[in-house]
Structure 1
Amino acid sequence: MTQRTRFRAHHSTLPLVAAATGGTPSRRPVWFMRQAGRSLPEYRAIRADHGMLESCFDPGLVCEITMQPVRRHDVDAAILFSDIVVPLKAAGVDLDIVAGTGPVIASPIRSTADVEALPRLEPESVGAIAKAVGLLVDELPDEKALIGFAGAPFTLASYLIEGGPSRNYERTKALMHGDPTTWNVLMGRLADITITFLRAQLEAGVDAVQLFDSWAGMLSEADYRQYVAPHSTRVFAEVAEYGVPRIHFGVGTAELLPAMTAAGADVIGVDWRLPLDEAVRRVGPGTAVQGNLDPTLFFAGTEVLDREVRRVVADGDRAIAAGAPGHIFNLGHGVLPGTDPDAITRAVELVHSL
């Protein structure tokens, strides 16, 4: 473990770390998923000349794109610019990120032999990402946290099995239920990849990590607990020694929040469908909450946005009163591409003023 990691992770001037761990932040921390992305003109200018995967493996570009929303919006945390499939690509999986579609896998997993052929991720294969983290640690102001990023095993599995984004996840669920032995081998391999990817970022100096199980909301609670939770639990356990906050997030996961929290989260992300204080009642006291403004409300005008930001802050206060160690203001999912960046800046200013 690096000195840089230990120093930054426990630095008293990081509002996000304080909120995540029951401390007293200097102000309510706020950051947004997909804050470094398509809503920013400076991001679009870079991407006009660089492909998505090219950008994700170029340390200088990763640093610049990650810093853009910090400079523009004064958010309290930067999240490493990356993509869920980056560690798969680094391991050697043949895939591409297609504009307008998302990740597309050249040869989807269909059999036990396909699972056995899945390559392993070596730390040196994500050396560019580790270098980007180092650049960011040096550039970020002392009061800004840096969040590491990885996709959870289930979401990685769904991409690999379906071949890309899916509406119903029929092939994924068929393998999960129809061949649980192969399923668990696959999930174990993907947990290994995720752990290696997160450890590379932690060694380089991130202050927190977020595990995105973007598609877990497609599952019943029983299926999540049986087929998914053991593998996500192992991911969280394998990075616990670094002592940084571990954030867990999925979309449409209101019924899964207790199980997702039990997997090892210090902070549970809540989408816009459930009030933050109700989330605390479901998961119990002792876990910080993150969320949960509906990202579409950035399009509803200043008056509505002001009202809804205040409502989420009030919900966050009630969540803390109900036993959450802290509240990190965020969206219930990611910034939408057409969002006015000035609306994001106004929201951050309002959160900080309350």
Structure 2
Amino acid sequence: MDKNLKNDLLIRAALSQPTERPPVWMMRQAGRFMKEYWEIKNKYSFLEMCKTPKIAADVTMLPIDLLGVDAAILFSDILVTAEAMGGDLSFEQGVGPRFANPIRTAQDVENLNVDCLDKLQYVADAIKVIQGRLDGKVPLIGFAGAPFTILSYLVEGGSSKDFKLTKTLLNNQPEMAHTILQKIADVTVDYLNMQIEAGVNALQLFDSWALALSWNDYQEFSHRYNKYILSKLNRKDVPVISFCKGSSVFAPIMADAQPDVVSVDWNADLLNIKKSLPAGMAVQGNLDPFVLYADKPVIKKKIIDLFERMRGENGFIFNLGHGIMPDIPFDNVKYAVEVIKDFKY
């Protein structure tokens, strides 16, 4: 463990060591619910923000300075690996990410470049700037998108409600799907190891769209590659968190990849999931983010109920079951963090 960390609650919880209270961070904690984020966003495109280390550091620091959370997470996007591999990526206001050259043919697959780490150097540079700014105050979490989720964007050409093109590929051309997934997995290993070398204190693998898959398809087209990635990381002293939408269903399979932490969506009872995992595997979650729209007494009650449910359990990181929505009141998020930090076991 990094001896320079002044607040190592997250690392201790991730390694299932005792903590005085649950550590707190939230997915999308540096984002559109903050006016300070928009003051930066209105000057630059989203990709400019990701690719300019100083700006990425400015955004990463916002929730540390304004909310007082127990960890920073690198400001970036899961799709930067897909772009580095040759995806023609853009972000459209109100639409989200778009790939102008979606994968349609064997030649498209052949064209995916796995030797592309140099194109992601800006991420390593950002990590160094952020760690200089954090100065050991809290840990920094790095991350990447999991292969299935990245494949879905590359095949659909953007976000999808039904994943029709992706599932048709998995069903009709599984060999092609496996070729794409292996390429993404190899890039992801290099990318996450680069982040470790640059100085992150923890990592999260985001499989945002795993819930689209059946149990068997999840094993074949998602878990297999997530397990491969986790087995290739230089993980000494760097805990790895595995997240997917669908973790309430897939947690038993996710555990087989041996992450340090399974991040759980809001559909499951967190203690039941924790007890179903191998001893010493931590959990993260799992407040429904929509609770943060509620009145403050409700927010407090839901958080305390979750904490009482988890009382006596080592290896618990507070988070949401998914990311903060852009129109959640900032004041409610700040209040939630205060409630959490006031709690003592």
Q: Which AA in structure 2 matches 1:78?
A: A
SS in 1 for 2:310: helix
1:163 to 1:336, Cα distance in 2 relative to 1, 3 A: same
Report the equivalent of 1:288.
282
CA distance in 2, matches of 1:149, 1:285: 25
| Among 113, 116, 120, the residue aligned to 1:122 | 116
CA distance in 2, matches of 1:85, 1:27: 34
Aligned pairs for 1:1-354 within 5 A: 7=2, 13-317=7-311, 320=313, 325-354=314-343
Q: Is the 8 A contact 1:84 1:151 kept in 2?
A: yes
> Deviation per CA, 1:20-65, whole angstroms, max 9, x where unpaired?
1122234421000000000110001100011111110000000000
Q: Which AA in structure 2 matches 1:351?
A: I
TM-score by length of 1: 0.93
> Deviation per CA, 1:242-279, whole angstroms, max 9, x where unpaired?
43110011113321111112122110001111111121
Greater Cα shift, 155-164 or 196-205: 196-205
Q: Which AA in structure 1 matches 2:82?
A: L
SS in 1 for 2:233: helix
Question: Aligned residue pairs: how many?
Answer: 343
Greater Cα shift, 258-267 or 21-30: 21-30
CA distance in 2, matches of 1:104, 1:209: 26
Deviation at 1:13, TM superposition (A): 4.1
Segments of 5+ residues of structure 1 without an aligned counterpart are: 1-5
> Deviation per CA, 1:102-121, whole angstroms, max 9, x where unpaired?
11111111222211111224
Q: Is the 8 A contact 2:87 2:102 kept in 1?
A: no
SS in 1 for 2:319: strand
CA distance in 2, matches of 1:62, 1:258: 35
1:59 to 1:120, Cα distance in 2 relative to 1, 3 A: same
CA distance in 1, matches of 2:95, 2:5: 40
Q: Which AA in structure 1 matches 2:284?
A: Q
Q: Which AA in structure 2 matches 1:340?
A: P
Deviation at 1:291, TM superposition (A): 0.5
1:96 to 1:211, Cα distance in 2 relative to 1, 3 A: same
Segments of 5+ residues of structure 2 without an aligned counterpart are: none
SS in 1 for 2:265: coil
Q: Which AA in structure 2 matches 1:25?
A: T
Q: Which AA in structure 1 matches 2:316?
A: H
TM-score by length of 2: 0.95
CA distance in 1, matches of 2:33, 2:105: 39
Q: Which AA in structure 2 matches 1:38?
A: R
Q: Which AA in structure 1 matches 2:338?
A: E
CA distance in 1, matches of 2:243, 2:202: 13
CA distance in 2, matches of 1:296, 1:241: 34
CA distance in 2, matches of 1:219, 1:281: 24
Deviation at 1:98, TM superposition (A): 1.4
Q: Which AA in structure 1 matches 2:2?
A: F
Deviation at 1:95, TM superposition (A): 1.4
1:295 to 1:223, Cα distance in 2 relative to 1, 3 A: same
Q: Which AA in structure 1 matches 2:47?
A: L
Deviation at 1:183, TM superposition (A): 1.1
Deviation at 1:125, TM superposition (A): 1.4
1:51 to 1:121, Cα distance in 2 relative to 1, 3 A: farther
CA distance in 1, matches of 2:152, 2:297: 40
Over the residues paired in the alignment, what is the CA RMSD in angstroms?
Answer: 1.6
